[in-house]
Structure 1
Amino acid sequence: MIIAIAVIIALGLIVVFSWQMPDPGKMRHAFTALPLPPVILSQVPGTVRDDALEMAKSLHPRDKTKRIKLAADLLATYESLKNTDIFVLFNSGGYGWTALDKASGYATIVNAIEDEFITRHCRVLVLNYQRAYRSLRGYISEILNAGAKSVSKPRELALRLKFLWHHLPNLKVLMCAESNGTVMSNQVIKMLPEEERLFSIEFGPPFWYDNYVSDRVLNMRSNGVVPDAFSYGHWSRAFKANWDALRGKSPASPGNVLLYIGAPGHDYNWQDYPLIRENVLRFLNKHFNSCK
């Protein structure tokens, strides 16, 4: 009886939160997780200010607090990117609040991508998109988002990018995502199928998500050495890795989901896996030219 009541309460919370628009995401400096500096409104063109407010209102017509929060972040993002050629946007795995410096191997990949753009004389900025906050609502919203059961978060990110392109038409955007974050990136590019300034590199998507396929998407379910147990749903391998860990044995192949759950092959970095380097560089060479 108690279990049944708990299940009903949990389902009720999911229904309630799924009906509500999540709190707006937040752009942060990728390697420090610090928020972007607030803008001086008098220095922002009036058309940009008005557009930010209108876009925020379209998502949060009845919530002034969320509307102001989103508009402020839109303007801060615009100010940070207005002298940029390529915007690298990192979508973390887990629940969407992990900074890039805590993302271990993925940070090495994003670093290498940034260095590659710099060698091409491009002005590049890497930002981390925090799509959820540490709260019950944050957890539930991310469960819905990772399961592709809610489009509110990818819709917000897609509108953010449209806002940027409206005022920065030459800006190219490369989304780099890991694990659960790949669902977000993939849904955004699915919403903008004709947008030639948008690209996505996705590592280790969850096994339950059917990826949208595009020439502008690089999707990897293996590091080239070991197939990703999380991406292919290889539960026997994952169970063995966790059982070995409980007995103090090191797994045969590295990889974790949510930092703690062993998932052999769910491990991506620039140094150890030649296939990652080859695929990423081929993708960049195909879609990005020298900026000068």
Structure 2
Amino acid sequence: MKRIGVLVFPGFQILDLAAIAAFELANMHLERPLYRVEMLSETGGPVASSSGVTVDSKRYTASKFDTLMMTGSLTIAPTSEALCKILRSGRRNARRVASICTGAFGLADAGLLDGRRVTTHWAFAQELQRSRPLAKVQPDRIFINDESLWTSAGMTAGIDLVLALVEEDLGVDMARLIAKKLVVYHRRAGGQSQFSALLELEPKSDRIQLSLAYARAHLREGLAVEELAEVAHLSPRQFSRAFKAETGQSPAQAVENLRVEAARALIDEGRLALGVVARETGFGDPERMRRAFLRTLGQPPQSVRRVARQQAMAA
């Protein structure tokens, strides 16, 4: 029996609990209780979520858990010392420690993130990095597994994380079957983006928006700064300065992100060889595309293709 402890606290986000359905469905398909999910809190008893829905909980004791999961909340507040002690105890006594969404701040307050690759909801990633400078925060990831520490992005990304935990325990076929029951894709790859490249950039002026639209429509071309500046009717120096001020990225970084996004979409379709995808999206060759994928997504195109094929088989 694998005990799954889910830590809740006053004001936790109720949607985070949706992910535990994957454990329940695993038990159903196995026709035996492999997972036992327990709601845990500092004191035990009813705990109200931010929406007002209350769940019952047990008081945490330092007994053995297979997995200890920390829920998140809509706003960030310091984690109580009692909860920090629970998380540190779980680090010693549980096989895996995980967080959903802003639950990563609880792990940070407990001192569990230093030196680790982690993620959280994109809107709070910079705050997490500022509060824990020794953590390696990767804001554009769905979930991250760093040895026995697991963290996920916002809210529904917790489902992807739990499916990955089930896959680690029971294999890809069981995870795929549960995903179908949940009516979700066989989990998104951990390196998949939380949001689109253009949404991330959010340019303010028409000139920068026009240059980005041009870049997206002409990814096969060189897209030098001079070319984009001409579209925006600015000098290259003015364009680069304005682009950085409005988007927080250099033109070269933005173009690379657009190319990675377009290449990933073509890879997901599964019709083109990777060399063709590289040419169609302006990378020129597979090696250059591979390096860009590693910088942006943390995984090579081959991994993205493998997950896409698994999803196609599930469908």
Q: Same fold (TM over 0.5)?
A: no
Give the TM-score taking structure 1 as reference length: 0.32
Task: State which structure, 1 or 2, has the greater radius of gyration over its C-alpha atoms.
Answer: 2
- Structure with larger RCO (C-alpha < 8 A, sep 6+): 1
